[in-house]
A and B are shown apart, each in its own frame.
Chain A
Amino acid sequence: MKAAIVQIPGSNCDQDALFGLRGLGIETEYVWHASDTLTGFDLVVIPGGFTYGDYLRCGAIAARAPVMDAVRQFAEGGGPVIGICNGFQVLIEAGLLPGALLPNVGQRFLCRTVHIKAVNRESLWTQACEKPLAMPIAHNEGRYVAEEETLKRLSQENRIAFVYCTPTGEVTEEANPNGSVQNIAGVLNERGNVLGMMPHPERAILQELGSTDGRCLFDAFAHAHAT
């Protein structure tokens, strides 16, 4: 099991992701955005940040980087991909996930701990996420929106990965930090191997950093490494 952290100019959670995954015992290396191959990797992380200064739209320029063709191929082959925060925006702009992320309803950059819970419990990413999870958010454009038809499909195909909730798991308007439709915090692709989410599981790996609730997302991979 070897993980790739894709570094794009303006990525700034790449080190957090490397630290988190290595902390879980997963062999992890950086891959530069100009690379056109992901050969030898079993897991791909698109980390958070402000790629290309968020010019044009968040993630829009990064989504056209050479490495994204390799990410697309990797995903089409069933390889697990997670995009966190700006990485989620990149996956959406690259067309690997549906919908869009707009500025938060409150027009504020939000940097705090929220609670989310897994709606889908079958994917590699979500199968081990049982209870409501505490993890940080740090974003200005996290308001998930999608066309009615897309939302219906996401729901029918069990592709809503996470929703914002209260610490006890109730999905309320108050628990929704950014105005996302249906409290959506993360979605999956059709096959369930590509996950995009605004909260930061890689920053919730160590108790010293406030929470270990992010570990369950990587359970499948940490386990694969151990065996």
Chain B
Amino acid sequence: MAAVKRYRVYVTLKPQLLDSAGRTVRDALNSLGFDDVQNVRIGKLIEIEAQAADRSAVEEMCRKLLANPVTEEFEIEEVEG
């Protein structure tokens, strides 16, 4: 059987946009005593398994559905094995 292809897609909020969830988590970390934490940003990790999709197909998935180009950026990582 042919090995499936695995990808990790990281979707993150554009840096210039306020991440309100990240800010809340930063505040919580500060209140737990992690005083040196200045910034927290939260993104999504989407794992994809496919028979044949190459990187350009995954890019198309990101553009069409997985990421919102107005607010988000994405990075694709192919996972070995």
Q: Do A and B bind each other?
A: yes
Q: Is there a chain A Cβ closer than 8 Å to B66's Cβ?
A: yes
B21 to chain A minimum Cβ distance, whole angstroms, is: 6
Find out whether the CB atom of A100 lies under 8 angstroms from the CB atom of B65: no
Instruction: List 14 other contacts, CB 8 Å, given A102-B71, A107-B20.
Output: A56-B66, A57-B68, A60-B65, A64-B65, A98-B70, A102-B17, A102-B18, A103-B21, A104-B20, A105-B18, A107-B21, A143-B20, A147-B70, A179-B18
Chain B hits for A100, CB < 8 A = 68, 70-71
B20 touches which one: A56, A98, A102 (CB < 8 A)? A102
Total A-B contacts with CB atoms under 8 angstroms apart: 35
Alpha-carbon distance A30/B24, docked complex (angstroms): 40
Alpha-carbon distance A105/B70, docked complex (angstroms): 18
Within 8 A of A (CB), among B49-81: 65-66, 68, 70-71
> Considering only CB atoms, which chain B residue lies closest to A105 in the complex?
B20
Q: Is there a chain B Cβ closer than 8 Å to A99's Cβ?
A: yes
Within 8 A of B (CB), among A139-192: 143, 145-147, 179
Q: Is there a chain B Cβ closer than 8 Å to A106's Cβ?
A: yes
Within 8 A of A (CB), among B11-70: 13, 17-18, 20-21, 23-24, 65-66, 68, 70
Alpha-carbon distance A93/B71, docked complex (angstroms): 11
Chain A hits for B70, CB < 8 A = 98-100, 145-147
> Considering only CB atoms, which chain B residue lies closest to A104 in the complex?
B20
B15 to chain A minimum Cβ distance, whole angstroms, is: 13
Find out whether the CB atom of A145 lies under 8 angstroms from the CB atom of B65: no
Chain A hits for B13, CB < 8 A = 102
Find out whether the CB atom of A56 lies under 8 angstroms from the CB atom of B65: yes
Alpha-carbon distance A8/B13, docked complex (angstroms): 27
Chain B hits for A56, CB < 8 A = 65-66
A99 to chain B minimum Cβ distance, whole angstroms, is: 6
Find out whether the CB atom of A93 lies under 8 angstroms from the CB atom of B20: no
> Considering only CB atoms, which chain B residue lies closest to A178 in the complex?
B20
Find out whether the CB atom of B68 lies under 8 angstroms from the CB atom of A107: no
B24 to chain A minimum Cβ distance, whole angstroms, is: 5
Find out whether the CB atom of A107 lies under 8 angstroms from the CB atom of B24: yes
B48 to chain A minimum Cβ distance, whole angstroms, is: 13
Chain A hits for B66, CB < 8 A = 56
Chain A hits for B71, CB < 8 A = 100, 102, 145
Alpha-carbon distance A173/B6, docked complex (angstroms): 46
Alpha-carbon distance A57/B18, docked complex (angstroms): 16
Alpha-carbon distance A202/B24, docked complex (angstroms): 33
Chain B hits for A145, CB < 8 A = 17, 70-71
Chain A hits for B68, CB < 8 A = 57, 60, 93, 100
In the complex, the 7 A-B pairs of residues with the closest C-beta atoms, listed nearest first: A100-B70, A100-B71, A107-B24, A103-B20, A107-B20, A105-B20, A57-B68
Q: List 8 A-B contacts (CB under 8 A).
A: A56-B66, A57-B68, A98-B70, A102-B17, A102-B18, A106-B20, A107-B21, A179-B18
